Amino acid sequence: MKILSLITVVFVGAALIYGTLDMPKWGDPHSPASTHVSPYYLRHSLHDAATPNVVTTVLADYRGYDTLGETAVVFTAGMACILLLRAGRKRRGKGHV
């Protein structure tokens, strides 16, 4: 099992390193990630939201629905944790009775 995992890890790592050969250089200001929509956010966020921190503007204003979904994720995870842990407590209580 360990040998099999090691072989898988080596192959997946090699495939990923092959994939990085086409990646833009580190710190390249003209990389695809920094050219399409992020200049718009940087230029217009102060005018649209009057907030100097662009990360805050994108998180809470431009992508507010994304953040709403994120809070749904956190709520679901919290409810799952509470239900799992409380279910365990109840079952043990019944066992003692």
Partner 1 sequence: MFEFIVSHYNYWMYIALMMVGFYAMMAKRNLVKKIIGMNIFQSAIILFYISTSVKRGATVPILEHAHEGHGAVAHAAHAVDVMQYANPLPHVLMLTAIVVMVATLGVALAVAIMIYKRYHTLEEDEIMMSIRRG
Task: Classify residue 57 as exposed, middle or buried by CB count within 10 Å of its CB (0-12, 13-18, 19+).
Answer: buried
CB of 72 to partner 1, least distance (A): 10
CB of 81 to partner 1, least distance (A): 5
Q: Are 57 and 41 a contacting pair, CB within 8 Å? A: yes
How crowded is the C-beta side of 63, counted as CA atoms within 13 Å?
13
The length of the chain, given as a count of residues: 97
Query: Does residue 90 interact with partner 1 by CB under 8 A?
Result: no
Cα(62)–Cα(39) distance, rounded to whole angstroms?
14
Among 25, 90, 94, 96, which residue sits at the site for partner 1 (rule: CB under 8 A)? Answer: 25
Where do contacts with partner 1 occur on this chain (CB under 8 A)?
1-2, 5-6, 8-9, 12-13, 16-17, 20-21, 23-29, 31, 33-34, 37-39, 41-47, 50, 52-55, 58-59, 63, 66-67, 70, 73-74, 76-78, 80-81, 84-85, 87-88, 92
